[in-house]
Amino acid sequence: MSRESTESEIDSPAANTDRSTAPDHDEVDYLSREVNLLKPSTPFMRDHLKIIWAGFIAWALLTFGPPVLTYFAPATMTAQLPVIGFPAHYFLVAVLSPTSSLVLAFVYSRKRDQLDRRYGIDHAASKSRSKSEGEAAVTDGGSVE
């Protein structure tokens, strides 16, 4: 990385106007940045955290919604569905929860890909760069000797 950007440079309006350029992303030293879920230090982290929180809220509603609705509206949720003959709460827990988890995983991956394109992050380039330099990935962050 050529130089370390300060937080004021990253948060400046000039840096936020065009986030599609790769050099802006390359100038940020993400490894030296503090990771704080309540106050992210870079625009990329802020946008990624928005995606994570939106997915978490949707997951919580879809997972815990049917049992809570069954508690507050037992007559409606225990009524038989006309077509399949199952109680509504059983159908929602058995079908909606697992299906919504798969859909949320797909949506997250699409949003993350959009975010990577927006900030110019190219995972293929980093893989080819590490292969061309002769570096192997190690789990502890060290290098292969």
Higher pLDDT residue, 22 or 54? 54
Angle value at C-alpha 53, between 41 and 98, nearest 5 degrees: 145
pLDDT per position as a tens digit, 57-79: 999 999 899 889 989 999 988 88
SS3 (DSSP) at 107: helix
Q: Tell me the pLDDT tens digit for each residue of 78-132.
A: 888 888 888 888 888 888 888 999 999 999 999 999 998 998 888 776 565 555 5
**Does the pLDDT at position 54 exceed 90?**
yes
pTM over 0.95: no
Side chain identity at residue 3, one-letter code? R
Three-state DSSP at 128 gives helix
Domain ranges of the chain: 80-121
CA atoms within 13 A on the CB side of 41: 12
Mean pLDDT, residues 34-50: 82
Rounded Cα distance between 113 and 7, Å, is: 25
